Structure formats: C-alpha cells, structure tokens
C-alpha cells in the first residue's frame, strides 16, 4: 500500500517536472527568438527607382530530334523604365535583347524585343488612356489562352516553354486604349492600327509587322455578378476576320482551390487553312481552357487544365498532315509556334510548383503537356535558387516524347538542359 | 443588525460595480483593432526579415495600402512589393475572400486561394491590415502576467478568439492585451488545435496619432528557430482609390 502511494507520488512529481520543463522550453524558445531580432539592424525599405535592369547568362545543351547535340550560350539583358508623374501621366519603356551564340535555330544573332514603349494618362482615378506599344495580356487559364488576342507573332525568341515566361518575353502591340471603371464593372476599348505589312526579322527592328500587321479592335467588359464572381466578356475583331467573342471567369471553390474557365468563339477558317493561307470556308470555331489550381497546406500548387481548340486538326486531319507533304507539315508547325494555338484539337496541361518547400529560397516548377490526339508528351522542369537579393541561379530541363512528327516528338528542341544565371541591378 | 445590513449593501455595491466594470471582450478586441489599425485609409511600409537557425535567409520590402471596404468593417488591402529587385512592383490584393496576384512583367492578374502563401513563412493574412473584431468572436479568459516582446513582465487580459467568418486566417487565437487593450502576444492555432505561430507585438511608437506596435516578431509553431520580424514604418494617411482594389486596374496602379 505504502509502495503504491510512493509510486503514485513519484509519477505525479515526474509529470509536474515534465510539464514545468515543457513550459520553460517554450519560454526559452520565445526568448531566444526575441533576442535574435533584438540584435538586428533593419533599414526601412526605400521607394523603388523608376529604372530596373537585369541580365541573364544561360549556357545550354540542346538535342535535336535527329539526335545531334549542340551547345550554346544565351545572353539576355533587359531594361525597364517606368515613371509616373504628379499630373497623372506615366511613361514606360521595356526592352530586351537575346543573343545566342551558336548554330541553333535563331542562334548566332542578336534579337531585340522592344516589349513596351507607351505613355498613359489618368484623368481620374477611374479612367486611364494609353498610347504606344503595350503588352496586353488576357486570359484566366494558364497553359492555353484563347482570349489572349494579341499574342500572335509576339514572341521574337522563345526563351522558355513556360507560358508565364512567354507572356513576359514578347512584343507589345502598338495601340490606343481607354478604360473606365465603376463600382460593379469596367469597360476597356483597344484599337491597334495596321502599321507594317510583314514581320521584320532584322536584329534591332521594332518588328511592327509582327504585332501590327492588320487593324485590330478589342472591347472588354467586366460585371460583378455576385460576391467573388466577376466574369469578363470580350469582343475582338481583326481586319478580314469575323468577330470573336470571349469569356473569362474564375471562382474560389474553397480555401485551397481556384477554378477557371476561358472561352473564345467566332466564325473563322481552320488553323490549317490559316497556316497555309488557304481561303477555306469559315465555320463557328470554339476554343476553351478549363481547370483549377489547388494549393496544399505545405505550399505545393497544382494546376490541371483541359485545352480545346476547335479550329485545330482532329485525329484524322492531323495524321494526314503528319504523313503528308513535309513542307506543308513544317509550314503548319511554324504557324503554330508563332500563333501559340494548339497543334491539335485537344490537350492536357499540368503545372506543379513549390516555393521554399524543399529548400529555403528555392522555387521549383514542373510543366507537363499531353497531346490527347497523338499521345505525345512534353515535360519541363525548372529550379531557381534565390542566392541573394541580386542573384538567381536556375536550372531548366526539358524533354519530349512521341513519334517523330507528333506534336511534341517533332519539336525542334527534343531535349534541353539550360543553366540560367540572372543578375538583378 | 444595522451594521451587518450596511456591510451587506456595501458588499453588494462592490460586487455590482465589479460586474458592471467587467469589460466586454468584443469591445476590448475593437479597442485593440483601433490601436493596430488607423481608422481612415492609410499607407505604411513593412520590412519582412526571415531568420532560420539564427541566420537571416530572406527579406522583403512591402508597401501596404489599406482602406475599409464599403460594405463591411473589414479592410481591403493592396500590397506592393518594393524589394528585392526581382519582385519589384508586383501586387497582391486582398479584398474579403478574394485574393489576386499581379506581375507587372507579364501583366497577368492571377486569382489565388487564401491558402496560397506569397511571402515566405508568414501568411498573407499577417501582412495585410485586418480588424480581428470582424473576423473573430472574443471571450475573456482571465488575467495573466506574461513576458512581453521586450523581456518585461506585463499584466495582461487574455482573450480567446474563435473564427466567426470564413475569410479569417486562423481558426483560433489566444491574444494577450495590456490594460489599455494594446496587443502584447498571440498564439495562432489551426482548426485541429495545432500551434501555427506565436507573435509578439512590441516597440510601441506614435503613428498617425496613436501609440502602435512598430514590430511584430513571429515564431513558427512547428520550427521555433524559424523567426520572422515585421517592422512597420512611414505610416501616412492616404486616400486609396477604389480602382486600386480592382484586378482590372492592376496594370495602371502606379505609386511614386
């Protein structure tokens, strides 16, 4: 009996001691954290300067579909000047040069991309006018944007297959635009004139023919339908084309998931007819992308998207093209690259990204594309380590799978490894 | 007998006064909000410095523009990234449950979920201005003497806050307020009761007419050597235009 009592008393004392130690440990932890930050001197963040610049150095190894390897060095300086003035005016200049030192496609020559050069005026806090070359991007989807109407021919040099990067490294369109907002909606009108008949591949050409080859008009409106649901409707017309209608919408499904739907439809020729400059009959063509982005509690984001391009070749048409005239096939592939349409009718897109998950300051992204029509696939992986406030170190790997003339199997760069050193001024 | 009656009346009066003086925890939380957040639209600068195992591993400079939403007593916030250079002029909008991220380079406005963090260790909800009294129901637990963020013993009221709206960042918060309802310390919990982080509000200084905390030290609940220091400065009244709080307008937001 006495032994039992001693045993209980001993257990109680042990528990009390353990809990006391736990409390002390927690307090020590807090105290250590406070002492750590006590000793740190921190500067108040300065207002950013209007001038920004960075340069990328990127040695790469490329394997073509024929199995031949090539190495190259890409150097890409970028400058941006963005200044607002007190009276509501703003001036923006954004320029990038890509120089690739090899016999790769597009290599051995510098290509300048005058991405933006415009002025804007803000007569009130709810109205803006812009004049000049502006990179207008549109679309709620990630892998395929049917309502990104000004993307055609806008990329002078493809730096990355990541659609996010392609939206950065492209030419703006010369235009005049006006936007007005009110409490439950907004309206934007854009007019882009025809300035040059054909694209100009000269190194330092502004290449107005790439983006302003014809007159274009875009009207966009948003309307708040319900709390958290503000779809965007658009009407686009290029000279010689029928109007295209567009819809963009996003929805917060739950605390971790955002759904998106992007649609465009209108009378047009098939992609193949446009690529080959054939005056085929027009039909109502629909393009859309639907998907969602889910973020886990430990910060892994997954985007899954279904892409459909009704104007792109179906299974039989694509097989005919793959097995037909090589020149026709090459001409179509070239058009797909410049137009950023889908190669075939249906595809899947997936993007997985992490930030600070594996290692602090390390961002990773993996993109997978799958062509449902010819069952070819493309994978791209990127890891970027933020070495300090001025230096990023990145590694990109990509590979393609599929038969030799399939969507991804027939890509010019079958496999690629690229190291990217970026210095931010 | 008469003496006993008088004593009883005095005792009842004291009890009654004590009951009447019992502070309303929701009012205490509102008073705490008034100390944390200016009542009119304003801007401030925030420096975020992250430490792991005693070493600085990252820092961000932000400008925060806040104003009360038209139909609510909660704040809408536009966050502008001002450092480091790779993130310059990126924007984050938080308006109710809606969150958007904007990159000026690709001009893409991307809707994000509340769970997606955009700023290292801290939650998006930690950097934006929020009225806790809008998002949480408060219960007064009692009084405690605790160590504050400047290593001093502070007599505090302890509140237990429970999420009352879906856009609240945390499921439950334990919050210690000093006698004038200024926040001193907080524990933030998940729905399952796991400690997510500890925060110390410290280095009080005058800003826009009120003595406010100029620093928050955040300690990770799972990895206590992961520490984030948030330092606030340059408070100023600022008439934040309604258009800035709309994703359609992001490309035209420009601050000098």
Per-residue pLDDT of chain A (425 residues; tens, 9 = 90+): 445 544 444 444 443 443 443 333 347 889 999 999 988 776 666 778 889 999 999 998 887 767 778 888 999 999 999 999 888 899 999 999 999 887 666 567 899 999 999 999 999 989 999 999 999 999 999 999 999 999 999 998 888 888 888 888 899 999 999 999 998 999 999 999 999 999 998 999 999 999 999 999 999 999 999 988 999 999 999 998 999 999 999 999 998 999 999 999 999 999 999 999 998 889 999 999 999 999 998 889 999 999 999 999 999 999 999 999 999 999 999 999 889 999 999 999 999 999 887 788 999 999 999 999 999 999 999 999 999 999 999 999 999 999 989 999 887 777 889 999 999 99
What is the arithmetic mean of pLDDT over B226-247?
94
What is the arithmetic mean of pLDDT over B224-236?
94
- Across the interface, whether the CB atoms of B116 and A299 are under 8 A apart is answered yes
In a domain, B144, yes or no: yes
User: Is the reported ipTM for this assembly greater than 0.90?
Assistant: no
- Tell whether the model's pLDDT for residue B119 goes beyond 70: yes
Mapping DSSP onto H, E and C, the string for chain A reads CHHHHHHHHHHHHHHHHHHHHHHHHHHHHHHHHHHHHHCCCCCCCCCCCCEEEEEEEEEEEEECCCCCEEEEEEEEEEEEEEEECCCCEEEEEEEEEEEECCCCCCCCEEEEEEEEEEEEEEEECCEEEEEEEECCCCCCCCCCCCCCHHHCCCCCCCCCCCHHHHHHCCCCEEEEEEEEEECCEEEEEEEECCCCCCCCCCCCCCCHHHHCCCCEEEEEEEECCECCECCEEEEEEECCCCCEEEEEEEEEEECCEEEEEEEEEEEECCHHHHHCCCCCCCEEEEEEEEEEEEECCCCEEEEEEEEEECCCCCHHHHHHHHCCCHHHHHHHHHHHHHHCCCCCCEEEEEEEEEECCCCCCEEEEEEEEEECCCCCEEEEEEEEEECCCCEEEEEEEEEEECCCCCCCCCCCCCEEEEEEEEEEC
Question: Domain residues for B160?
Answer: 25-252
In a domain, B166, yes or no: yes
pLDDT score for A72: 87
C-beta separation of A246 from A253 below 8 A: no
Question: Domain residues for A336?
Answer: 48-424
pLDDT score for A160: 84
- Across the interface, whether the CB atoms of A45 and B120 are under 8 A apart is answered no
pLDDT score for B105: 86
pLDDT score for A7: 46
In a domain, A43, yes or no: no
Nearest-by-Cβ selection for B85 from A52, A128, A257: A52
- Tell whether the model's pLDDT for residue B112 goes beyond 70: yes
| CA B216 from centroid of its chain's CA atoms | 9
C-beta separation of A273 from A154 below 8 A: no
Nearest-by-Cβ selection for A295 from B86, B113, B241: B113
Chain B CB contacts of A29 under 8 Å are 219, 224
Q: How confident is the model at residue B9 (pLDDT cuts 50, 70, 90)?
A: low
Whole-angstrom Cα distance, residue A169 to residue A180?
Answer: 28
C-beta separation of A271 from A278 below 8 A: no
Residue burial A326-354, b: 16+ Cβ < 10 Å; e: rest: eeebeebbebbeeebbbbbbbbbbbbebb
Whole-angstrom Cα distance, residue A240 to residue B26?
Answer: 65
Find the length of chain A. 425
In a domain, B114, yes or no: yes
pLDDT score for A14: 41
In a domain, A347, yes or no: yes
Residue B105 DSSP label: T
In a domain, B126, yes or no: yes
pTM: 0.88
- Tell whether the model's pLDDT for residue B187 goes beyond 50: yes
Nearest-by-Cβ selection for B249 from A44, A181, A255: A181
In a domain, B20, yes or no: no
| CA A78 from centroid of its chain's CA atoms | 18
In a domain, A27, yes or no: no
Average model confidence (pLDDT) for chain B?
Answer: 88
Counting the structural domains of chain B, the total is 1
- Tell whether the model's pLDDT for residue B147 goes beyond 90: yes
Angle at the Cα of A196 (from A195 to A197), degrees rounded to 5? 130
In a domain, B168, yes or no: yes
- How many beta carbons lie within 10 A of that of residue A7, not counting itself? 10
In a domain, A379, yes or no: yes
pLDDT score for B234: 93
> Helix, strand or coil for residue B154?
strand
In a domain, A187, yes or no: yes
Q: How confident is the model at residue B22 (pLDDT cuts 50, 70, 90)?
A: low
User: End-to-end alpha-carbon separation of chain A, Å?
Assistant: 79
Nearest-by-Cβ selection for A258 from B113, B166, B248: B113
C-beta separation of A417 from A60 below 8 A: yes
CATH number of the domain to which B221 belongs: 2.50.20.10
In a domain, B162, yes or no: yes
In a domain, B5, yes or no: no
Which residue in chain B has the smallest CA separation from A356?
A: B120
pLDDT score for B93: 95
Q: How confident is the model at residue B255 (pLDDT cuts 50, 70, 90)?
A: confident
- Across the interface, whether the CB atoms of A125 and B86 are under 8 A apart is answered no
Among A66-70, B95-99, B245-249, the least confident range: A66-70
Higher model confidence: residue A367 or residue B97? A367
A17 to chain B, minimum CA–CA distance in Å? 21
CATH number of the domain to which A228 belongs: 2.40.160.10
| HSE-up (13 A, CA, CB side) for residue A310 | 14
C-beta separation of A309 from A286 below 8 A: no
A250 touches B at CB < 8 Å: yes
In a domain, A108, yes or no: yes
Counting the structural domains of chain A, the total is 1
């Amino acid at each position: 009996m006495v032994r039992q009592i001693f045993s209980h008393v001993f257990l109680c004392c042990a528990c009390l001691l353990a809990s006391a130690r736990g409390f002390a440990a927690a307090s020590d932890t807090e105290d250590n954290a406070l002492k750590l930050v006590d000793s740190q001197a921190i500067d108040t963040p300065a207002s950013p300067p209007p001038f920004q610049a960075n340069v990328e150095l990127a040695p790469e190894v490329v394997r073509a579909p024929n199995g031949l390897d090539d190495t190259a060095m890409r150097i890409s300086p970028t400058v941006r000047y963005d200044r607002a003035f007190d009276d509501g005016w703003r001036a923006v200049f954004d320029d990038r040069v890509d120089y690739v030192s090899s016999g790769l496609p597009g290599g051995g020559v510098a290509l300048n991309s005058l991405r933006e050069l415009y002025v804007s005026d803000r007569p009130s806090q709810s109205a803006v006018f812009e004049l000049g070359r502006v990179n207008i991007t549109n679309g709620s989807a990630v892998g395929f944007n049917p309502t990104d109407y000004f993307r055609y021919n806008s990329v002078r040099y493809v730096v990355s297959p990541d659609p996010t990067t392609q939206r950065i490294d492209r030419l703006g369109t010369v235009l005049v635009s006006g936007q007005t907002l009110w409490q439950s909606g907004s309206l934007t009108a854009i007019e882009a004139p025809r300035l040059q008949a054909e694209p100009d591949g000269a190194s330092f050409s502004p290449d107005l023919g790439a983006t302003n080859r014809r007159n274009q008009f875009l009207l966009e409106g948003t309307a708040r339908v319900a709390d958290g649901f503000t779809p965007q409707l658009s009407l686009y017309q290029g000279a010689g084309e029928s109007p295209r209608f567009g819809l963009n919408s996003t929805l917060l499904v739950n605390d971790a998931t955002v759904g998106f739907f992007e649609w465009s439809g209108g009378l047009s020729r098939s992609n193949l007819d446009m690529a080959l400059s054939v005056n085929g009959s027009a039909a109502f063509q629909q393009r859309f992308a639907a998907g969602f982005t889910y973020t886990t509690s430990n910060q892994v984001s997954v985007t899954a998207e279904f892409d459909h391009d009704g104007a792109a070749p179906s299974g039989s048409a694509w097989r005919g093209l793959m097995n037909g005239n090589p020149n026709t096939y090459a001409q179509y592939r070239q058009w797909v690259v410049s137009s950023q349409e889908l190669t075939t009718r249906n595809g899947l897109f997936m993007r997985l990204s992490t930030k600070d998950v594996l290692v602090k300051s390390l961002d990773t992204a993996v993109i997978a594309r799958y062509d449902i029509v010819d069952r070819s696939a493309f994978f791209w992986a990127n890891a970027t380590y933020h070495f300090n406030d001025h230096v990023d170190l990145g590694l990109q790997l990509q590979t393609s799978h599929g038969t030799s003339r399939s969507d991804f199997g027939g890509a010019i760069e079958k496999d690629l490894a690229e190291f990217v050193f970026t210095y931010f001024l | 007998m008469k003496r006993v009656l008088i004593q009883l009346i005095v005792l009842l009066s004291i009890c009654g006064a004590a009951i009447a003086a019992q502070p309303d925890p929701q009012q205490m939380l509102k008073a705490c909000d008034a100390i944390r957040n200016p009542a009119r639209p304003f801007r401030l600068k925030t420096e975020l410095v992250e430490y792991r195992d005693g070493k600085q591993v990252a820092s961000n400079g932000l400008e925060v523009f806040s104003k009360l939403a038209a139909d609510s007593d909660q704040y809408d916030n536009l966050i502008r990234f001002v450092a480091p250079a790779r993130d310059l002029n990126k924007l984050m909008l938080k308006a109710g449950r809606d969150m958007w991220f904007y990159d000026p380079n690709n001009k893409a406005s991307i809707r994000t979920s509340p769970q997606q963090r955009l700023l290292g260790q801290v939650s998006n909800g930690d950097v934006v201005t929020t009225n806790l009294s809008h998002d949480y129901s408060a219960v007064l637990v009692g009084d405690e003497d605790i160590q504050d963020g400047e290593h001093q013993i502070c007599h505090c009221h302890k509140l237990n806050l429970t999420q009352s709206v879906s856009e609240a960042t945390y499921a439950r918060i334990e919050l210690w307020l000093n006698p004038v309802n200024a926040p001193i310390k907080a524990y933030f919990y998940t729905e399952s009761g796991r400690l997510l982080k500890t925060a110390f509000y410290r280095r009080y200084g005058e800003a826009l007419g009120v003595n406010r905390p100029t620093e928050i030290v955040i300690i990770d609940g799972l990895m206590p050597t992961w520490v984030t220091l948030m330092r606030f400065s340059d408070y100023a009244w600022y008439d934040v235009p309604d258009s800035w709080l709309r994703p359609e307008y992001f490309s035209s937001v420009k601050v000098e």
